[in-house]
Amino acid sequence: MAGVFFNDIQTSVVVRRLFEPLRKNTSEMSKKDDRFQCRDDMDFESIFEQIKKDYFPTWDCKNEWQLTVGEDLYGAQAICNSASKTITLLKDYFIQPDAPQINQLKVVLIHEISHTTTTTGFHEEEWITQMKQVAEMADELGDIELAQLVREEVDRYVNRKENDRYLLGKARFESI
């Protein structure tokens, strides 16, 4: 599970209360603190800003969205919350000596931002379309590896959805 999206105010209040003691805003963390650094000495905040600039230039024009780090995200690598305008990354996954490559972090950020651009916040057609548009933009910018990783992310969710439909139909048939 890459991410969870909360657009319900009641849920987001509960989640905010759960994560508040665990979260630490990236701007509060020292740039010298290498525990909050990705490979190639790029910090999360600069990667987040670059993703916004390159792939979502009209999103968050007022810079209201914040990138945070949490310790327990219910099995997700990241979550986004439209009520508090935060994207929270899983600390144990992203802040470690063998942390994922920068492009994997970029895919997670693209995945979460794409949730925020949809009306439902789910991995439905709107989200799939947004992700495919980002993959095309990455191709145009010459970032072929990122484009491929974004397409693979979409495929995982499309294939999972088709598999879920198959299993649901099979279960209904077998219960008759």
Please answer whether residues 124 and 103 qualify as being in contact, where contact means their C-beta atoms are separated by less than 8 angstroms: no
Q: Which residue has the higher pLDDT, 38 or 124?
A: 124
Q: Is the pLDDT at 32 greater than 50, yes or no?
A: no
Q: What is the pLDDT of residue 96?
A: 64
Greatest C-alpha distance within the chain: 63
What number does CATH give the domain 3-174? 3.30.2010.10
Torsion of CA 67, 129, 134, 43, to 10 degrees: 20
* 71-89 average pLDDT score: 90
Token readout for 101 is: 């490559």
What pLDDT does residue 15 have? Answer: 39
Break the chain into its structural domains and give their ranges. Answer: 3-174
pLDDT at 157: 87
